[in-house]
């Protein structure tokens, strides 16, 4: 079932009120129902892929690739709340499919007889038809999502490093990614505001720095020590730029979408694996893992919200964090 909107508005699901400078839902004039297996809308998209690799010598190669992908499902997610809400909207009458062009180029080298390996890669993506919800959208149980979204585009680019130690008692890797991911949602006409005044803003999943280090040390046949360290730039969020009073309550005044960042996300996990019978060949093989997740108990912020304290009337910033230190024990077997 699809909602129809007036012909006079070009069958647009949203109206921009020029005087008040806000988007409002257009009044539906009716709904269309379709018989089973009736084709409502068809999309055709080519998805070419090219890749090439050039071997400079036995240990070094360069690779490059280009992909075009189309995606017919769109993800709308709000990330400012404690329980992130993801709404999946399919392409259709009001939502065009997303088209992605991705370019990548990389340099790969094996060092010291395959003891170490180094990979450096750079990528650039542009995406058309990325949708985003307007300010103040109500997403729950919203049957007509087209009333609260606008069409835009996105781009992302970055540089990735991966350095690996493949052999020996101590092995593992260090990975670092430097990247930027933004989107822009202009209004449908030059006089409309769009989202964030039509300026580029960070996508909810943008991570400037992403470092991860994994190290494994084999103590002996039975015991192995594993550790994992992560550091990521905090997620983009929207902070207030002021406050005002209305009807006896204090309101936070927010500005550009995703223009601030949460504190960085970092944690260290350590674990010990114990294999009681490493040489056992028949029957099932088992091993224990004793671990501690987030060993220095960092309360990484999942979201920061702002409110007026009801008992004191003072404004507060509230950080919600989900996990502190979590110990774990697991017993694994394979057969």
Partner 1 sequence: MKKLIYIVILIFFTVSCEDVIDVNVPTESPRLVIDASINWFKGSLGNEQQIKLTLTAPYFENSVPPANGAQVEITDTNNNIFIFIEDGVTGIYKNSRFFPVLNETYNLTIIYDGETYIASETLKSVASIEYVDQNNEGGFSGDETELKAYYIDPADEENYYFFEFISDIPVVPSLEVYKDEFTNGNQIFGFYTEEELASGDLVTIRNYGISKEFYNYMFILLQQNSQEGGGPFETQPATVRGNCINQTNPENYPLGYFRASEVDELIYTVL
Binding site for partner 1 (CB under 8 A): 19-22, 24, 78-83, 85, 133, 135-140, 237-255, 257-258, 260, 299, 304-308, 310-327
User: Minimum Å distance from CB 140 to partner 1?
Assistant: 5
CB of 16 to partner 1, least distance (A): 12
177 or 196: CB nearest partner 1: 196
Nearer to partner 1, 100 or 193 (CB): 193
Residue length of the chain:
335
Give buried/exposed letters for 242-275 (b at 16+ CB in 10 A, else e): eeeeeeeeeebeeeebbbbbbebbbbbbbbebeb
43 vs 88 by CB, closer to partner 1: 88
Could you tell me how far CA 300 lies from the centroid of its own chain?
A: 17
Min dist CB 12 to partner 1, Å, is: 19
Nearer to partner 1, 27 or 47 (CB): 27
Closest CB 247 distance from partner 1, rounded Å: 6
Least distance (Å) from partner 1 to the CB of residue 195? 9
Is 13 or 304 the residue whose CB approaches partner 1 more closely?
304
Our CB check for partner 1 shows the closer of 90 and 324 to be 324
Closer residue to partner 1, CB minimum distance, 73 or 317:
317
Shortest distance (Å) from residue 149 CB to partner 1 = 11
Least distance (Å) between residue 193 CB and partner 1: 10
């Amino acid at each position: 079932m699809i909602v129809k909107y007036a012909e006079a508005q070009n069958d647009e699901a949203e109206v921009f009120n020029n005087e008040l400078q806000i988007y409002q839902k257009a009044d539906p004039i009716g709904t269309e129902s379709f018989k089973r297996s009736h084709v409502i809308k068809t999309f055709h998209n080519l998805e070419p892929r090219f890749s090439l690799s050039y071997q400079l010598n036995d240990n070094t190669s360069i690779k490059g690739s280009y992909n075009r992908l189309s995606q017919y499902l769109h993800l709308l997610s709000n990330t400012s709340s404690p329980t992130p809400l993801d709404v999946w909207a399919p392409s259709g009458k009001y939502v065009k499919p997303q088209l992605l062009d991705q370019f990548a180029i990389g340099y790969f080298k094996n060092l010291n007889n395959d003891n170490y390996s180094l990979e450096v890669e750079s990528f650039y993506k542009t995406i058309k038809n990325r949708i985003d919800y307007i300010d103040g959208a109500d997403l729950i149980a919203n049957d007509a999502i087209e009333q609260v979204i606008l069409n835009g585009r996105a781009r992302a680019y970055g540089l990735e490093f991966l350095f690996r130690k493949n052999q020996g008692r101590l092995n593992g890797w260090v990975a670092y990614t430097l990247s930027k991911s933004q989107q822009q949602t202009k209004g449908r006409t030059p006089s409309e505001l769009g989202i964030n005044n039509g300026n580029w803003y960070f996508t909810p999943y943008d991570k400037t720095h992403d470092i991860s280090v994994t190290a494994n040390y084999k103590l002996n046949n039975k015991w192995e020590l594993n550790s994992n360290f992560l550091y990521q730039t905090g997620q983009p969020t929207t902070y207030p730029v002021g406050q005002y009073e209305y009807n006896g309550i204090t309101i936070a005044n927010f500005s550009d979408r995703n223009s601030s960042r949460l504190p960085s996300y970092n944690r260290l996990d350590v674990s010990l694996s114990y294999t009681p019978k490493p040489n056992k060949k028949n029957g099932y093989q088992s091993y224990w893992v004793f671990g501690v997740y987030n060993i220095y108990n960092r309360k990484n912020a999942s979201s920061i919200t702002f409110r007026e304290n009801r008992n004191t009337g003072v404004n507060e910033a509230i950080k919600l964090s989900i996990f502190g230190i979590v110990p774990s024990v697991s017993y694994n077997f394979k057969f």
